[in-house]
Chains A and B, each alone.
Chain A
Amino acid sequence: MDTASRRPGQRSHVSGPNSALTEFLREKGIDTSGIQALSSARARARNEAAHRRSVAASLEAAEIGEEIDEDEEVGESSASAARRKKKVSKDEDNDEEMLDVEEEEPVRTRRGRASRATTKIDLKVVGKRKRKSTTVKDTESEFEEIEEEEMIAVRATRTRKLTKAQLAKKKAGEQRKLEEDDEFNPDNFLDPALRPVPGQIAFCAECECRFTVTPYSRSADDGEGLLCHTCGKKGAPAEKAARKKKQTTRTNKKSAARAILDGDTSNVKSLQEICINTVAKYIDDVETLGYIGSHNVDKISQIICKNRRLNGETINLFFEPAEHVLRFYDCSGISSDSLRQIAAFVPTIRRLHLNWCGLMKDECLDYYGTQLKQLTSLELYGAFNVTEECYIRFFKNVGSRLTEFAVKDTSRFKAAAVEALVDNCPELEVLRLHTLTFIDDECVRLLTGLPNLKILEITDSQASIKDGPIIDCLNTFGPGLSELTLNGCKDLTDATLDAIHSSCGRLDILNLDEAELLTNDGIGKLFTEWSLNYGLKELSLRNCTNLQSSGFARIIDHSSRTLERLTINRCKDIEKDAWTFLQEFTLPELEVLDISFVRCVDDAVIEGILKVAPELKTLKVWGCNKITESCALKEGMLLVGREADILA
């Protein structure tokens, strides 16, 4: 045999002669090593138990000293059990022979143990036979000489008078112990070696009838023995109810936590909501939605998309011929042809929003470009199959009609597409470039050709974006900008902040998440004497870790009157003095505040914030572990992420 073909760990197929059973097991692919180990462990356990019992019995026997006839029956059954055991171990021996040479060593020790176990059982048999007929002399007699003492102990067991009930009790006690170890009764703990074999006969602790033990047999309430199937069933309903109750409390807690995360404050839903949920539930049976108001249509779309029920069938329900706005939040199950039908059935559409439209192909977007004559706004999320050439054709077809464009999650939207967009759509006011692979400095510089831009979002581009092009852009359309989102542009520095300071007079929303290089001084400077800007409505500085109390004070000083949403998530250097400073202001418009992972926040800070921000509706405090349950909260305000709520 080629030595290279022999891999380590591969079992050799050379084996000696073996029994029919061994052959059969091997053919069926049954591995006997597990069974072997189990049976030897069981035999050992039985012997230990027998030994323990015999010691106890010999003590008791002295007191009782009576003989019973049933003894024989018991002896008989244990003898046959022993014989069975013996046979099994013989078979095992045969099986072992076919094992590998490598396994020889452990096998040998196992065999040794097994034969030892067999010996002990044999002793019992000998003891019994001797008592039955003293004339019997067989080969087993040699054992008597070897382990005289043990035999006496065994005989003591036999001579001990046992009633059926006592026997059952003993057996049941043993089984109970075993069962306790099993997963059905995890609270109890018992010697696993005493595991009763399912299939054994036992006596019920309650009605004393004979029954066959199964892994599902229950133990009696007082712990004395097992219950038969009928008695076990009696207790089941109560147990089931308790389990159910436990489960419902868990679900309640879960749904309460979910409601907090969803921002769901009122416990009674509006009738419209209930109806929408019902309709969404039976959406497959709905033939037509009829006139239910476009905001309700949108809500139904949201719900069935959330449940992933939007498909080629259900999408037809939303095709109202005169509709102007269509939003589908999960188009992953909709083929390119079905998406194409949107333009065929609803040619009047002005705003189209498609999320996760991964199946969309070039011809679909081409069709939109030519067919949708009123389209002004398009959002395509996850259309990764659409090629760059197709985007270019689309922009040429749509031309200056397009005022809003958003694209997300694709690697095929590159500089050439941006160039086509800038050249063909000069009226563009909203541009959102979200999670695109190839948006870099070059692309950003091209955007300077869009003088009418009011909203610019560049989020999570995988290429690095530096200050230079952003400053160029801000110099062109900065004065008109109302929203600037540069989320995840990690290379931005204070130079960008200076440009914002000098040009963005109308800015309402500023998002500089993850811009870790911004300094406290830079942020402070942006908000110092920024009279050009009246005040921001939304500010997000998530993970701008350099922000300190002094910078925060500048922000509040400038925008406290107008701020509606403020995020300073993970600005860990903000100290307590910032919150003291805050007390001198009021934040009349503030509705959402995210101060997660600002570690200094405690109950007093929260209470102070509630005092100065009367309109506050949502307060996010993930990771602020100083906040306790005793913190006084306002009715109707949502506190999200308090550790005390989650851990309770």
Chain B
Amino acid sequence: MSEVIDDEGSLTLVSNDGFQFVLPKKCAFASKTIRNMFNKNSGYIEAKENCVKFEDMRGAVLEKVCEYFIYKHKYSGYSGQVPEFQIPAEMGLELLTIADFLET
């Protein structure tokens, strides 16, 4: 099955406590999981609605994930010194499971 992915425009990520984050698709596609959802051929409803709801993600964690997407988009391919991405220590493990799920 071929990939038909449109990375123009933006999408919305929703946390389980109702926070919404709107960000460019290009950035969010740093996650392979989200990218696969938006493959038109795989027929996910998320692709039609341009909106992904994460039932097991708190707003605070999803915010950090979005921050990472922007960070990655900004610095990938940049040859200079890249600033470190800061994660609060207490969020480390939770974010790790989520990063594992998102394949990012």
Whether the Cβ atoms of B89 and A271 lie closer than 8 Å is: no
Contact: A271 with B76, CB < 8 Å? no
Q: How far is the CA of A271 from the CA of B71 in the complex (A)?
A: 10
Chain B positions within 8 Å of A, measured between CB atoms, are: 65, 68, 71-72, 75-76, 78-79, 81-82, 85, 87, 89, 92-93, 95-97, 99-100, 102, 104
Please pick, from A267, A275, A291, the residue contacting B92 in the complex, using a CB distance under 8 A: A275
Known contacts A278-B87, A279-B92, A282-B89: A271-B102 contact under CB 8 Å: yes
State in angstroms the CA–CA spacing of A274 and B30 once bound together.
15
B82→A275 contact, CB < 8 A: no
**Beyond A268-B78, A278-B92, A296-B100: 20 further Cβ-contacts under 8 Å?**
A266-B76, A267-B82, A268-B71, A268-B72, A268-B82, A271-B65, A271-B68, A271-B95, A272-B104, A274-B68, A274-B85, A274-B87, A275-B92, A275-B95, A276-B96, A281-B89, A285-B89, A289-B93, A290-B93, A296-B96
Residues of B contacting A: mostly: helix
Q: Which residues of chain B come closer than 8 Å to A56, judged between CB atoms?
A: none
Asked whether A292 lies within 8 Å of B72 as measured between CB atoms, the reply is: no
* Nearest CB in chain B to that of A272: its residue: B99
**Other-chain residue from A252, A268, A292 in contact with B75 (beta carbon distance below 8 A):** A268
In the assembled complex, how far is the CB of residue A312 from the closest CB belonging to chain B, in whole angstroms?
Answer: 21
A286-B100 contact given A274-B85, A275-B87, CB 8 Å threshold: no
Top 7 nearest A-B pairs (CB, nearest first) are A275-B96, A278-B92, A271-B99, A279-B92, A272-B99, A282-B89, A278-B87
Contacts of A276 in B (CB 8 A): 96
Is there contact, CB below 8 Å, between B104 and A271?
Answer: yes
Closest to A270 in B: B104
Query: Which residues of A lie under 8 Å from residue B68 when comparing CB positions?
Result: 271, 274
Query: Smallest CB–CB gap between A269 and chain B, Å?
Result: 7
**Given A252-B81, A274-B85, A292-B100, A268 contacting B95 (CB threshold 8 A):** no
A268 to B104, CA, bound (A): 11
- How far apart sit A279 and B99, CA to CA, in the bound complex (Å)? 13
- Are A292 and B104 touching (Cβ within 8 A)? no
Complex alpha-carbon distance, A243 and B89, angstroms: 32
The residues in A between 243 and 285 inclusive whose CB is less than 8 angstroms from any CB of B are 252, 266-272, 274-276, 278-279, 281-282, 285
Determine whether the beta carbon of B76 is less than 8 Å from that of A268.
yes
In whole angstroms, how far apart are the Cα atoms of A352 and B46 in the complex? 43
Could you say which residues of chain B place their CB within 8 Å of the CB of A296?
96, 100
A451 to B71, CA, bound (A): 55
With a cutoff of 8 Å between Cβ atoms, the chain B residues found around residue A269 in the complex are 85
Distance from A246 Cβ to chain B, minimum over Cβ atoms (Å): 15
Interface check A8, CB cutoff 8 A: no
Q: Determine the distance from Cα of A267 to Cα of B97 in the docked complex, in whole angstroms.
A: 22
Please tell me if A16 contacts chain B, counting CB pairs below 8 Å: no
B65 proximity list for chain A (CB < 8 A): 271
> Does A186 interact with chain B (Cβ within 8 Å)?
no
Residues of B within 8 A of A289 (CB): 93
Q: Would you give the shortest CB distance from B2 to chain A, in whole angstroms?
A: 24
- Tell me whether A17 is interfacial, beta carbon within 8 Å: no
Q: Please give, as numbers and ranges, the residues of chain B lying within 8 Å of A106 by CB-CB distance.
A: none
Chain B residues with CB below 8 A from A252, complex form: 81
Q: Is the CB of B85 within 8 A of A292?
A: no
Chain B contacts for A286, CB-based, 8 A: 93
Question: Contacts of B78 on A, CB cut-off 8 Å?
Answer: 267-268
Shortest Cβ gap from A546 to chain B (Å): 43
In the assembled complex, the CB of A554 is this many whole angstroms from the nearest CB of chain B, namely 42
**What would 6 A/B residue contacts be, using CB atoms closer than 8 Å?**
A267-B79, A270-B99, A272-B96, A274-B68, A278-B89, A290-B97
- Whether the Cβ atoms of A282 and B76 lie closer than 8 Å is no
Cβ–Cβ contact A267 & B99, under 8 A: no
Chain B positions within 8 Å of A274 at CB level: 68, 85, 87
A290 to B82, CA, bound (A): 31
Q: Say how far A320's CB is from chain B's closest CB, in angstroms.
A: 14
A279→B85 contact, CB < 8 A:
no
Cβ-defined contact, B89 with A292, below 8 A: no
B contact residues around A285 at 8 Å (CB) = 89
CB-nearest residue of chain A to B82: A267
Closest to B81 in A: A252
Q: Which residue on chain A has the smallest CB distance to residue B84?
A: A274
C-alpha gap A252/B95 in the complex (Å):
28
Q: Does A65 contact B (CB under 8 A)?
A: no
Assuming A271-B65, A274-B87, is B93 touching A292 (CB within 8 A)?
Answer: yes
Minimal Cβ-Cβ distance residue in A for B65: A271
Shortest A142–chain B CB gap in Å is 75
Structural contact, A293 and B75, CB atoms closer than 8 A: no
Least CB distance from B89 to A in Å reads: 4
User: Using Cβ atoms and an 8 Å threshold, which residues of chain A touch B71?
Assistant: 268
**Which of B78, B93, B97 has the most chain A CB atoms closer than 10 A to its own CB?**
B93
Q: Bound complex: CA of A309 vs CA of B96, how far in Å?
A: 20
Q: How far is the CB of B102 from chain A (nearest CB, A)?
A: 7
Chain B residues with CB under 8 A of A279 = 92-93, 96
- Which residues of A sit under 8 angstroms from B92, Cβ to Cβ? 275, 278-279, 282
Nearest CB on A from B75, distance (A): 5
CA distance A291 to B93 in the complex (A): 9
Q: Name the B residues within 8 Å of A275 (CB-CB).
A: 87, 92-93, 95-96, 99
Instruction: State how many angstroms separate the Cβ of A294 from the closest Cβ of chain B.
Output: 11
